[in-house]
Structure 1
């Protein structure tokens, strides 16, 4: 073995270092290769993340849409259907008398409180101290640009501008609303009723009728048909003319019929022959909601289509009847807002109602009346 000196070993290491040193060409190739690899790697990452980014954007948009839709689910703008509607306060927990009139784009709120109607010596403020509700949340005045939205049984009244406000009303019946402060209101039209059934033929009052070989006369003394003028009562207007000349029945006709035995068995004081009005015809469905009659889901918009007492509706009755003459105010209100489940009127039967529901028997008691039990149609009073 050859012995190397320190100088020789140092020279050999230098030669080995030079042998592994890359040339300028090799350095350039290495630099290009490294740059290309890094660039490709970056592009690959961006492309792989792009679908995820798009998916996140789509999910975010869908989430916002769902949030908006859920927030407005079941909400309907009913502003147009409230045009010309009048809401009048009927609450017994506050003596105030607020009236809301919706007219075009204007809402007029009036406070018609009159202390002289109650105790003239008291101021309104002192009078209100006795009651649970001191004053409705609404402020009298004329407001422009209102909107009404409905969600289920809740109506939200919103007035834009300055001053503006939001007031909630909950439906208790087809024409009864209760404000968020507990004040009760009634409307003259029936809420959520798009279609109606009308009767432009039947007169509200009986007229004098002629007689012939197809008619006969009867005496009648009960007030079940009383609309305030006692038209059907013989002691006021004479005998009634009953005609047997008919082929089919029409809505609104007053008929003279045999009372079903089911009623006679319960009350022996009820006469065998009775008078009532045809309200439902064969094939129809009759229902009462909130004191209003509906035919096949359509409101019966007639003078005999809702609960009355001697021809007066709820509002008129409480306004015109002295307080000491009203024995039970709540029971009376319940009467004006009574309900009856839907009844199907089968072939060869008719649904009968008396005009004063609380004073007589009709199809609410015995169901649809077989046509064979009807003796004739009342055409008027005798000459």
Structure 2
């Protein structure tokens, strides 16, 4: 009976160790949970929303990414507006990238509080450097983003926000 009990304990221990190793590998190389802090992405994300970030997803324009801040020890979550080499222009709240105009429906809620002829985003014109991304918060009036610290290095990116798991009422895949 003792030999069988010992084998059972070792079997359970081996399974537990394998599960822990798989979880560590997945979290380190594939995905990680992140808590949103602050209001720079409102109304898309509120303070303390929790998301799963994919570390292997290809970054595309308008994805929401988590990255190491270039000016502090914090991690930021922002929307990718420009990819390497893109020519970005914002004039009178109209976003143009490489000569093509894009709508920004995620800004609609924040634009509601503006007075007539007031802009949410100041005018700008720039070219995104190679191996860099231009990022902005959805709450343009209260976001520390590339307008303040410049384009970010692609190497600073932790991953792409793919799934919100908290609050439960807003749980789901990110658009």
The answer for the alignment partner of 1:233 in structure 2 is: 47
Q: 2: distance between equivalents of 1:293 and 1:374?
A: 23
Map of 1:355 onto structure 2: 138
Question: Across the two proteins, how many residue pairs are aligned to each other?
Answer: 139
Report the CA distance shift for 1:272/1:221 in structure 2 as closer, same or farther (over 3 A): closer
In the superposition, relative to structure 1, how do residues 233 and 373 fare at CA in structure 2: closer, same or farther (>3 Å)?
Answer: same
- How far does residue 233 in structure 1 lie from its aligned partner after superposition? 3.1
Distance change in 2, residues 1:357/1:337 (3 Å): closer
Instruction: Report the equivalent of 1:257.
Output: 67
Secondary structure, aligned partner of 2:113: helix
**Could you tell me the TM-score, scaled by structure 1's length?**
0.33
Find the counterpart in structure 2 of residue 336 from structure 1.
Answer: 120
| Per-residue deviation, residues 11-52 of structure 1 (Å, max 9, x unmatched) | xxxxxxxxxxxxxxxxxxxxxxxxxxxxxxxxxxxxxxxxxx
**Separation in 2, partners of 1:355, 1:233:** 13
Contact 1:293–1:300 (Cα < 8 Å) also in 2: yes
Identify the match of residue 100 of structure 2 among 291, 298, 301: 298
Structure 2 CA distance for aligned equivalents of residues 285 and 243 of structure 1: 27
Summarize the Cα distance change of 1:283–1:292 in structure 2 as closer, same or farther, 3 Å threshold: same
For 1:369, the equivalent position in structure 2 comes to: 152
Point out which structure has higher relative CO (alpha carbons under 8 A, 6+ apart): 2
Deviation at 1:373, TM superposition (A): 0.6
CA distance in structure 2 between the partners assigned to 1:231 and 1:356 by the alignment: 10
Q: Give unmatched runs, 5+ long, in structure 1.
A: 1-211, 265-270, 319-328
What's the offset of the Cα at 1:221?
A: 2.8
CA distance in 2 between partners of 1:259 and 1:217 (Å): 17
Whole-Å Cα distance in 2 between the matches of residues 220 and 337 of structure 1? Answer: 22
**Native 8 Å contact 1:282 1:347 kept in 2:** yes
Does structure 1 conserve the Cα–Cα contact (< 8 Å) formed by 2:36 and 2:45?
no
Q: Which residue of 2 aligns with 1:278?
A: 80
Match of 1:224 in 2: 40
TM-score (norm 2): 0.69
Distance 2:54 2:47 in 1: 18
